[in-house]
A and B are shown apart, each in its own frame.
Chain A
Amino acid sequence: MLEVEDVYAGYGRIPVLSGIDFTVAEHEVVGVLGHNGMGKTTLLKTLIGQVPVTSGKIRFGDTDISNTSSFRRARAGLGYVPQGRAIFPNLTAYENLRMGFIEDGIHSEDAAVKDVLARFPRLDSIIDRLGGALSGGEQQILALARCLCGRPKLLLLDEPTEGIQPSIVEEILEILIGLHRHQGLAIIVVEQNLDFIRRLSDRVLLIEKGTITGEVSPEALGETQELGGYVAAG
Chain B
Amino acid sequence: MTRFLRENAALVAVAIAGIALLIGLPLVLDLYTLLQVTLYVIYAILALSLAFIWGYGGILCFGHSVFFGLGAYGYAVSVINMGDSTLPFLIAIALPAVLAAALGYFMFYARISDVYVGVITLTVTLIFYNVVNSTAGPQYHIGEALLGGFNGMPNVPSLNIPFQPDNTLEPAGMFVLCMALLLIVYFGLHILLRTRFGRVLVAVRENEQRVEFLGYDSRLHKLIAFSIGGAIAGLAGCLFTAWGNFVSPTAFSVVQSAQIIIWLMVGGAGTLLGPVIGAVAISWLTVQIGTQQTVNANVVLGGILLVFVLLVPKGVAPMVTERLVPWFVSLRRPAASPRNVAGESKA
Interface residues of A (CB under 8 A from B): 48-50, 69-71, 74-75, 80, 82, 86, 88-91, 95, 98-100, 102, 109, 146-147, 150
Q: Tell me the nearest residue of chain A to B200, going by C-beta.
A: A99
Q: Which of B196, B202, B212 has the most CB of A within 10 A?
A: B212
Q: Which residues on B are within 8 Å of A, measured CB to CB? A: 196, 199-200, 202-203, 206-207, 209-218
Chain A residues lying within 8 Å of B202, measured Cβ to Cβ, are 90-91
Known A95-B199, A99-B203: A88·B210 in contact at CB below 8 Å: yes
Q: Could you tell me if B213 and A90 are in contact, using CB atoms closer than 8 angstroms? A: no
Assuming the contacts A88-B203, A88-B207, A95-B199, asked whether A102 and B215 have C-beta atoms less than 8 A apart, the reply is yes
A102 to B200, alpha carbons, bound, how many Å?
12
Enumerate chain A residues within 8 angstroms of B210, measured Cβ to Cβ: 86, 88
B residues less than 8 Å from A91 (CB atoms): 199, 202-203, 206
Residues of A within 8 A of B211 (CB): 71, 99
The docked-state distance in angstroms from the alpha carbon of A98 to that of B214 is 10
Chain B hits for A49, CB < 8 A: 212
Bound state CA distance, A86 and B208, in angstroms? 11
CB-based contact B215/A74 at 8 Å:
yes
* Residues in chain A near residue B217, CB distance under 8 A: 69, 71
Chain A proximity of B220: nearest CB distance (Å): 9
- Asked if A70 meets B200 with Cβ closer than 8 Å, knowing A86-B207, A88-B207, A90-B206, the reply is no
Q: Residues of B contacting A95 with CB < 8 Å?
A: 199
Most B CB within 10 A of own CB, among A50, A80, A99? A99
Check A98–B199 contact: CB distance below 8 A. yes
Partner among A48, A89, A98, A109 whose Cβ is within 8 Å of the Cβ of B213: A48
| Chain A nearest Cβ from B248, distance in angstroms | 42
Chain A residues near B206: list those with CB within 8 A: 88-91
What are some 5 contacts across the A-B interface (CB < 8 A)?
A: A48-B213, A69-B217, A71-B218, A80-B213, A88-B207
- List of B residues within 8 angstroms of A71 by Cβ: 211-218
CB < 8 Å: which of A69, A90, A150 contacts B212? A69
| Cross-chain contact B215 with A150 (CB below 8 angstroms) | yes
Chain A residues whose CB sits within 8 angstroms of the CB of B199 once the complex forms:
91, 95, 98-99
A70 and B213 contact, CB distance less than 8 A: yes
A82 to B210, CA, bound (A): 9
Q: Which residues of B contact A147 (CB under 8 A)?
A: 214
B213:A75 contact, CB within 8 angstroms: no
- Shortest CB-to-CB span from A150 to chain B, Å, is 6
In the docked arrangement, what's the CA distance between A99 and B215, Å?
Answer: 9
Q: Are B213 and A99 in contact (CB under 8 A)?
A: no
- B195 to chain A: closest CB distance in Å? 12
Q: A74 contacts B207, CB within 8 Å?
A: no
A75 and B203 within 8 A (CB): no
Query: Once bound together, how far apart are the Cα atoms of A71 and B213, in whole Å?
Result: 6
Which residues on A sit within 8 Å (CB–CB) of B200?
Answer: 99
> How far is it, in angstroms, between the C-alpha of A49 and the C-alpha of B218 when the chains are bound?
14
Q: A74-B212, A75-B215, A89-B206 are in contact. List 10 more A-B contacts (CB 8 A).
A: A48-B213, A49-B212, A71-B212, A71-B214, A74-B213, A90-B202, A90-B206, A91-B203, A99-B211, A102-B214
Most buried by A among B209, B211, B215: B215
Contact B209 A100 (CB under 8 A): no
- For residue A80, which residues in chain B have a CB less than 8 angstroms away from its CB? 213
* Complex contacts, A82 vs chain B, CB 8 Å: 213
Residues on B with C-beta less than 8 A from A88 are: 203, 206-207, 210
Complex: how many Å from CA A89 to CA B206?
9
Contact present for B215 and A50 (CB under 8 Å): no
Residues from chain B with a CB closer than 8 A to the CB of A69 are 212, 217
* CA distance in complex: A144, B217 (Å): 21
**Interface contact A70-B212, CB-CB below 8 Å:** yes
Chain A residues with Cβ under 8 A from B218's Cβ? 71
Chain B residue with Cβ nearest A90: B206
Enumerate the 5 nearest inter-chain pairs by beta-carbon distance, A residue then B residue, closest first. Answer: A74-B215, A70-B212, A102-B215, A71-B212, A75-B215
Chain B residue contacts of A150, Cβ below 8 A: 214-215
Contacts of B216 in A (CB 8 A): 71
Shortest Cβ distance from B220 into A: residue: A71
Do the beta carbons of A99 and B209 come within 8 Å of each other?
A: no
Query: A44: shortest Cβ distance to chain B, in Å?
Result: 11
Which one of A48, A70, A88, A89 has the highest number of Cβ atoms from chain B below 10 Å of its Cβ? A70
Docked CA distance A65–B30 (Å): 67
Interchain CB contact under 8 A, B209 and A70? yes
Distance A70 CA – B207 CA, assembled complex (angstroms): 14
Q: How far is the CA of A147 from the CA of B214 in the complex (A)?
A: 7
CB distance from A66 to the nearest CB of B (A): 17
A86 neighbours in B (Cβ, 8 Å): 207, 210, 213
User: In the complex the two chains form, what is the Cα distance from A98 to B215 in whole Å?
Assistant: 12
The distance in angstroms between the C-alpha atoms of A82 and B211, with both chains bound, is 12
How far apart sit A104 and B303, CA to CA, in the bound complex (Å)?
53
